[in-house]
Amino acid sequence: MMLLGSLPQLSAFQFNIVDNMFSLTVATMGAAAIFFFAARSLVAPKYRPALMVSGLVVAIACYHYFMIRLSWQSAFGYADGSFSPTGKGFNDFYRYADWILTVPLLMVELIAVMGLAKEVARPMLTKLVIAAALMIGLGYPGEITQDWTTLMVWGMLSTLPFLYILFILWVELGKSLATQPPSVRSLVSFARLLIVATWMFYPIAYGIRGDSLPGAIPGLIPEKSGLGVVGTQIGYAIADITAKAGFGLLIFFIARAKTESMTDEERAEQMKAAAVMA
Amino acid sequence: MMLLGSLPQLSAFQFNIVDNMFSLTVATMGAAAIFFFAARSLVAPKYRPALMVSGLVVAIACYHYFMIRLSWQSAFGYADGSFSPTGKGFNDFYRYADWILTVPLLMVELIAVMGLAKEVARPMLTKLVIAAALMIGLGYPGEITQDWTTLMVWGMLSTLPFLYILFILWVELGKSLATQPPSVRSLVSFARLLIVATWMFYPIAYGIRGDSLPGAIPGLIPEKSGLGVVGTQIGYAIADITAKAGFGLLIFFIARAKTESMTDEERAEQMKAAAVMA
């Protein structure tokens, strides 16, 4: 929960662009959830858990963006042309609650679709989940602080597990490329790039806010201009849409390509599985 | 319903950590419900009822935590830096309504996945359901009292059926271990431990509150510090997440392992069942 009075006054444009971005995100996540659950029947049984987990990730995000929007609307009050803080504060915790639940699931989703052997997948997943928890837990104190130095320190600490996760994914996905059918290879290497590209939004969005805090090194954003808050919220929303709905869509394409490139033996085995699990 | 004025004044941090914990619980239970219902198609027909009941348990909990959160928000009003009781009270009954519905279902869920013979399962379930009703009914008067002695007396009485349930589950699950396929055995013995470990949260959370009541033996928690209420609510939320969502996930893993370790005859039989139920 942001401290009282920590929110700047916003212009009608600034308030509404964030409010509308939140609504757009709710709609996107909700639609993605329906699609991923329905699309399970379009892939072989062994890839269905990956689609289910994709569906869970965006369903959880849909709930949190709905609550984030309500909190945004209660945090500001309209009066003669601009929006001033009501004193109720804006609840940043929704975002961190969302990440605590969805980031580990994103790892599960990726590993599920790669079809790695259990003895490889298990320890890798454990490392990734612990790193994700550290990344999110260390980021939160910086998110709710009103002090530039505190934000920087926690931001830096949180960046270490962040880079560790990206490193592991980059290396492990790279290794697995060889074992993937040709039609899937390009999709998997695109998935690698997408993860790195979209995750880069998060530290940027995290930092932008700091630029408008008292004591910040004067940067692009004038203090209390509201651009820090607006930039952070829009940045997180774009990053979440790409990293959850966009990434889930890529997982679906990978599952689909793998289903189509199955050997006859694999196909026969999957038919048996489908017969029991239909 | 807590008696008027019985709630202490809370700091913004105390109020918000409980409020956020409730939201996190709503999200977790809701996501778990979607997962358990969708995951029915990942297990053989004979294990699907267990997953359906797991889904019901967390769906009921999702509803109750949503209402608990609304009650929490209406029980306190914000004024200059802290949250004071509005006098509307905090409705503890949601929690007991939730338990009355979900604890018997948790028993059904466990027995369904164990695949015990009907003549064993029926009487065992009857004993467990009666004990669960007693446990919850006897606990409630202590939950809503403002008198330390009353809390202790009802707490003790409620502990007797509580221990009886744990004893039955421990013994019966122990017996059934031998009849389980090797791949499932470790999961079932983990389930036994998980039940005992997570259920232990409940008496602790129940008691913590008492420590801040008038007449309580001076304990760790200073009277009216708010730590009793905060500790109780967070303790119950953690216990419910583990005992419902966490336990349901374990039930899914057991069902999945049993599906994979089916003999050819079982598989053929389950295929026939699936063909009819597809």
Nearest CA in chain B to A57: B31
pLDDT in tens, A184-212: 899 988 888 988 888 988 988 888 877 76
pLDDT in tens, A232-260: 999 999 999 999 999 999 999 999 999 99
Strand order in the sheet with A82-85: A10-11, A82-85, A76-79
Stretch A143-167: mean pLDDT, rounded?
Answer: 91
Stretch B123-139: mean pLDDT, rounded?
Answer: 93
In the predicted structure, residue B219 carries a pLDDT above the cut 60: yes
Residue B53 counted as domain residue: yes
Number of domains in chain A: 1
CA distance A217 to chain B (A): 29
Residue with the larger pLDDT of the pair A229 and B54: B54
Indicate the pLDDT class of residue B5, thresholds 50, 70 and 90: very low
Give me Rg for the CA atoms of chain A. Answer: 21
Q: Which of A67, A101, A276 sits opposite B270 (nearest CB)?
A: A276
Residue B246 counted as domain residue: yes
Q: In Å, how far are A103, A121, A143, A165, A184 from A118, measured between CA atoms?
A: 20, 5, 36, 19, 21
Residue B162's pLDDT is 94
Domain coverage including residue A146: 10-277
Q: In Å, how far are A22, A26, A63, B6 from A67, measured between CA atoms?
A: 10, 10, 6, 30
The residue ranges of DSSP E strands in B58-168, in sequence order, are 76-79, 82-85
Mean pLDDT, all residues of chain A: 89
Residue A182 counted as domain residue: yes
Q: Which of B31, B35, B274 sits opposite A275 (nearest CB)?
A: B274
* Beta carbons of B68 and B22 less than 8 angstroms apart: yes
Q: Which of B20, B39, B259 sits opposite A97 (nearest CB)?
A: B20
What is d(CA B159, CA B71) in angstroms, rounded to the nearest whole number? 27
What is d(CA B219, CA B213) in angstroms, rounded to the nearest whole number? 10
Residue A183 counted as domain residue: yes
In the predicted structure, residue B212 carries a pLDDT above the cut 70: no
Residue with the larger pLDDT of the pair B33 and A144: B33
Residue A162 counted as domain residue: yes
Residue B54 counted as domain residue: yes
Q: Which of A37, A101, A278 sits opposite B31 (nearest CB)?
A: A101
* Beta carbons of A96 and B20 less than 8 angstroms apart: no
| A56-70, A190-204, B258-272 — most confident range | A56-70
Rounded to 5°, angle at Cα A93 from A89 and A97 = 160
In the predicted structure, residue A2 carries a pLDDT above the cut 60: no
In the predicted structure, residue A135 carries a pLDDT above the cut 90: yes
Residue A36 counted as domain residue: yes
Stretch B158-169: mean pLDDT, rounded?
Answer: 93
Partners of A87 on chain B (C-beta within 8 Å) are 78
B24–A97 CB contact, under 8 Å? yes
Residue A136 counted as domain residue: yes
Stretch B103-118: mean pLDDT, rounded?
Answer: 88
In the predicted structure, residue A80 carries a pLDDT above the cut 80: yes
CA distance B271 to chain A (A): 5
Residue B131's pLDDT is 94
Q: Residue A89 gets which letter from DSSP?
A: -
Nearest CA in chain B to A95: B24
Q: Residue B41 gets which letter from DSSP?
A: G
Amino acid identity of residue A41, one-letter, is S
Among candidate residues B210, B209, B203, the one with its CA nearest the CA of residue B156 = B203
In the predicted structure, residue A169 carries a pLDDT above the cut 50: yes
Residue A161's pLDDT is 95
| A65-74, A142-151, B191-200 — most confident range | A65-74
- 3-state secondary structure (DSSP) of residue B264: helix
Six-digit token pair at B12?
Answer: 């913004």
Residue B166's pLDDT is 93
Residue A213's pLDDT is 73
Mean pLDDT, all residues of chain B: 88
Partners of A61 on chain B (C-beta within 8 Å) are none
| A18-32, A35-49, B221-235 — most confident range | A18-32
Strand order in the sheet with B76-79: B10-11, B82-85, B76-79
Residue with the larger pLDDT of the pair B136 and B6: B136
- pTM score, two decimals? 0.91
Residue B60's pLDDT is 98
ipTM of the complex model: 0.89
Rounded to 5°, angle at Cα B91 from B90 and B97 = 155
Q: What is the CATH number of the domain that holds B74?
A: 1.20.1070.10
